[in-house]
Amino acid sequence: MKLLMKIQKEIKTNHGVALKKTMLTFSVLFMIGLAIQAQNVYVVDNNQGSGAQYTNAQTAIDSAAVGDIIYLQPSPNNYGNINMTKALNIYGIGHIPELNSGQVATVGSIFFRSGDASGSKISGLNISNIYLDNTAFNNHNVVIRNNRIGYIAGNSTTSRANNVIISGNYIRNPNFNAIDPYNSQNWIISNNLIEQPNTAATWSTLSRFNSSVLFNNNIVLTRQNGNAGNSIQLFNNCSGTQITNNIFLFTGTDVENMNLGSNSALNFQNNLTYSYNSTLDNLSGTNNIDDTDPQFVNFNQNASLNTTSNDYHIQTGSPAEDAGTDGNDLGVFNGTFPFSLRGYPTELPYLTDFVIYNNILSAGTQLNINIKASANINN
């Protein structure tokens, strides 16, 4: 569904004003997407001269009540670290937006250490790290969706950070262990792009997955080169995890398998593997498709996974077509999941076109804007 609007806003100034698109885009998005919500909405914008309610993200978070929405405007300035003290919904525009000169809302680390923030939702942001590792407060049922993230850490206990959903994200850690649930229970890690850019054979990406973790419908790319035994370590210290409907891609040299690491009883079912520069061994498990090109609509294995020219839909006739345990395609578009390569939050409409017809105004004249947006999934 497409949403086409023309908005006229009267600007009263003492002098003519040249308006910037960036200053208007998100205020309009805010009105379209959030005005109908029952929660309070806090707009945070640390651009110079923004005039927003808040310029500091943590101040807005501390001021908000449980269930409120924090909306971080795109900015060249990092919003810094965030301490979650209560259940909140924190949104950005996405991590590769079409407009706003590609600017995004970037934060440092998000810490779930200062209170019970169970039920929080984080979406549309560029995030360095997320830590769900506090042992004094519960932080269950957190949804982490449609972000760019470096690292996600779980909890050392089995009762503090459970039922976490990690979906639709681009996860890339230039070091090791991009996702580590530790002892957290019932994590669902699905429909993500996960990339290991390092070439070291022992730099694992997926760590300490337990038997309650579901890992499905992801596309994982690793650039690791094989060791002397032609092996790499993609999973490490994992046990009993159900691993289904994923596509594993290998661009390194001398890679025959991913058997390194202290793993046990991993259940690989209906996955596809493919190496661009080596010949892979068969994957253990059932109904796996071994060392076979998934035949994406468009894909450059030498570019980053989140390159916008990539199209991870499966071509007709591909071995990955309808090959999942549910009869749907393998990978991020499995079933009806609304995967967004640009990381647009499904709760908000997003702009696809923005035209200001008279960007130089005299006092008392009208601003004429034409906006085209795609509607959100929820509505």
How confident is the model over 244-297, as pLDDT tens digits?
Answer: 999 999 999 999 999 999 999 999 999 999 999 999 999 999 999 999 999 999
- Token duo for residue 123: 């979406």
Long-range contacts of 26-32 (CB under 8 A, 24+ apart): 26/71, 26/73, 26/74, 26/93, 26/100, 28/351, 28/369, 28/371, 29/93, 29/348, 29/349, 29/350, 29/351, 29/373, 30/71, 32/3, 32/5, 32/349, 32/373
Q: Which CATH class is domain 29-348?
A: mainly beta
Residue tagged 């301490």 (tokens): 83
Residues 241 and 209 sit within 8 Å (Cβ to Cβ) = yes
Residue 10 has pLDDT above 50, yes or no: no
Give the pTM. Answer: 0.86
The 3-class secondary structure across 248-300, one letter per residue, is EEECCCCCCECCCCCCECCEEECCEEEECCCCCCCCCCECCECCCCCCEEECC
Residues 191 and 217 sit within 8 Å (Cβ to Cβ) = yes
- pLDDT tens-digit profile of 212-241? 999 999 999 999 999 999 999 999 999 999
- pLDDT tens-digit profile of 174-209? 888 999 999 999 999 999 999 999 999 999 999 999
